[in-house]
Amino acid sequence: MSASNLDPSRLTIAAAAERLRRRELSAGEILEACLARIAATEPRLRAFLTVSGELARSQAREADERLRRGEPRSVLDGIPIALKDVFVTRGVRTTAASRILENFVPPYDATTVARLRERGAVLIGKTNCDEFAMGSSTENSAFGPTRNPWSLDRVPGGSSGGSAVAVAAGQCLGALGTDTGGSIRLPAAYCGVVGLKPTYGRVSRQGIVAYASSLDQVGPFGADVRDAAILLEALAGHDPLDSTSAPLPVPRYQDALRPEADGLRVGVPREYFQEGMQPEVESGVREAIAVLESLGAAVEMVSLPHTPYAVAAYYLVATAEASSNLARYDGIRYGRRAAAKTLLETYRRSREQGFGAEVKRRIMLGTYALSAGYYDAYYVKAQKVRTLIRRDFDRAFEQCDVLVAPTAPTTAFRLGEKTADPLTMYLSDVLTISVNLAGLPGMSIPCGVDGGGLPIGLQLIGKPFGEESLLRAAYAYEQATDWHELRPDPALCAAQGPAGGPGDGGARR
């Protein structure tokens, strides 16, 4: 495509940065292309809860002035980035997709947001998600579900569905999400983009609306592996404001991107190829493993024997921490406050009106698990299982550098298909949850499409703080294939496009 007819919203971060450096495009032009794409697609996709157009235009003008002087702050200077609406943003509404925070405007930035601002990124808006990041489909948002740009009757995955959709649909060039049990990797797989969950402690959690504090981790979405590496470099690093932040130097992750896999030891967990998996997902992932082997990787089977207990352990640990974290929403200090005559009634009504059904369900589960008489039987036992899961990974990594598996057992399911059965919904994360329990880095990259044209995700799992090996394997596979070049059909998402329904999936290069 020539520069004259190029759609700037379809560029990768790396390509856009190069064009900005050469003065072939301006930050303003890229931003306006993304805003135009948002205007054309939002009536259908509903990826954004807040579009900060004027703030973004101001930031783009400042970036263009720096670029004109030849003084860019970083490769992200002038690049439109979206934020999941759990990132606290100074002066911009932050809702966590909940009625209880519907009108909350924070007075400060999360550390990760501040780092993006320092590097000149243009913050285009806040994306939709499951309420308080509790969900696997972005259907639990108090403001309505987000739709998958590949097929409008499908979910985008959750909880960071809006961020994945925004990147896939060209509404921004990159985005941030959070991953507590698969909430970056699952939407990345369902939407055909790259999503990376770093090691717990690699990226600051300060200023993130908390769900489960020992599991939550911030990570990027990008159109390809290099974009994910660029964003991770900007986000990573010690933060004295976060006591769980690791005081380790940040590698130059782009240096790990090489097109070969010579010497890389790849493990394939037997337990991740389960009965009931969609056949096209299994075949797509196995073909991807064969590609890595052809690139020089040594592939062997490994076992993670405690995998079957991960879902049960996760939904005890996560809900217990949610019960504790969400106690702060009392209708007194900030957020929604219901009219009432007594303090107790204020608490009750504010939470009753402010929290959605799934959030209430998880608070009750967690409170029960932490209650007297049940703490040892449930929460403590779940933490012991968590230790066993971590040891499984430790043993596997004695013989491997990276593990590869499906990101999800199926491609994106239909809107409403699992909302009536919470347990079935929870099982959507069966292949991603263990990584969070063990605090490991993981990512999802595109590795195919099913018969309906829906993306298939390949999950890669690394050692603690082993993001470089993860990125190396992902980049080698990506360069040997062209799945990352597929994009949803732009006409499908446009306001004047056909209505979503079965068979509406489609791809364009």
Angstrom distance (rounded) from CA 168 to CA 221? 9
Contact between residue 44 and residue 147 where contact means Cβ atoms under 8 Å apart:
yes
Question: Of 489, 472, 458, 509, nearest to 228 (Cα)?
Answer: 472
Q: Calculate ∠ Cα 201-204-207, nearest 5°.
A: 140
Provide CB contacts within 8 A for 281, sequence distance 6+: 406, 408, 409, 410, 411, 450, 456
Give the three-class secondary structure for 93: coil
Catalytic residue check, 84:
yes
Q: Are strands 455-462 and 122-127 parallel, antiparallel or unpaired?
A: unpaired
Question: Of 16, 476, 466, nearest to 253 (Cα)?
Answer: 466
Q: Phi and psi for 219 in degrees, rounded to 5?
A: -155, 170
Question: Of 149, 267, 159, 248, nearest to 201 (Cα)?
Answer: 248
Q: Calculate ∠ Cα 167-172-174, nearest 5°.
A: 60
Q: Calculate ∠ Cα 149-152-153, nearest 5°.
A: 140
Contact between residue 466 and residue 199 where contact means Cβ atoms under 8 Å apart:
yes
How far from the centroid of its chain's Cα atoms is residue 92's Cα?
Answer: 21
Q: Give me the catalytic one of 137, 159, 163, 428.
A: 159
- Both tokens of 471, joined, read 């990125």
Catalytic residue check, 183:
yes
Which residue in the block uniquely carries the two structure tokens 């703080």? 465
3-state SS, 127-182, equals ECCCHHHCCCCCCCCCCCCCCECCECCECCCCCCHHHHHHHHCCCCCEEEEECCCC
The sign of the dihedral angle between the CA atoms of 388, 460, 83, 455 is negative
Angstrom distance (rounded) from CA 509 to CA 503? 19
Q: Give me the catalytic one of 9, 26, 52, 84.
A: 84
Provide CB contacts within 8 A for 155, sequence distance 6+: 137, 138, 139, 145, 146, 147, 148, 161, 190, 412, 413, 414, 415, 417
Half-sphere exposure of 78 (CA within 13 A, CB side): 33
The distance in angstroms from the start CA to the end CA of the chain is 11
DSSP 298: E
Angstrom distance (rounded) from CA 194 to CA 57? 27
Q: Give me the catalytic one of 163, 183, 323, 434.
A: 183
Residues annotated as part of the active site: 84, 159, 183
